[in-house]
Amino acid sequence: MARRSGTSSSRTSRKKRSSPRSRGEYNRYIKNTRKFHTELVKQRRASGQTYDDAKEFESALNGPPNKCTADVILYFLVQKCFTEECGHSTGDGIHAAWADHYDNMKGYQGPYSYDARNGVRRNPARAQAVMNTVHEIKNRD
């Protein structure tokens, strides 16, 4: 039986688009980013400094993305791949996990943008700073 071409992947469920192994890896990267983020929030609070974006930063990975979401993803990439010196496959995995996460959230597919008037538009894992960092990680190895 011939395979149908042109089947839209947008109609394919999230679980069907990636293998169980990939899904498990994505979930691990998401979980580890959230853990890292929780520690950053604790450090910010303990520092006693006030931040203009404290509320947004603290909720950056909860629900729809906000103006700090791309920054948190970027900070985790830098921590893992530059500070801890993990390889480019770790960077690719982190990026792919968050890109997939927001691609599967209604209204956040596609290239990222943010402005104060309209807020976050599209996928924060596709922010230019995140994409540049992933590129730098690949070129470093």
Mean pLDDT of all residues belonging to the chain: 87
From CA 57, how far away is CA 109, in angstroms rounded? 22
**pLDDT digit string, tens, across residues 9-39:** 443 444 446 677 778 899 999 999 999 999 9
pLDDT at position 85: 96
Query: What span, in angstroms and rounded, lies between the C-alpha atoms of 139 and 112?
Result: 23
Rounded to whole angstroms, the Cα distance separating 104 from 59 reads 19
Identity of the amino acid at 100: D
Question: Cα torsion at 18, 85, 73, 11 (round to 10°)?
Answer: -10
Output the CA angle 108-139-88, nearest 5 degrees.
Answer: 60
Write down the pLDDT at residue 55: 92
pLDDT given at position 10: 40
Query: What is the residue whose two structure tokens read 């394919």?
Result: 12
- Average pLDDT estimate for 76-102: 97
Please say whether the beta carbons of 97 and 30 come within 8 A: yes
| The pLDDT value given to residue 136 | 96
Stated pTM of the model: 0.84
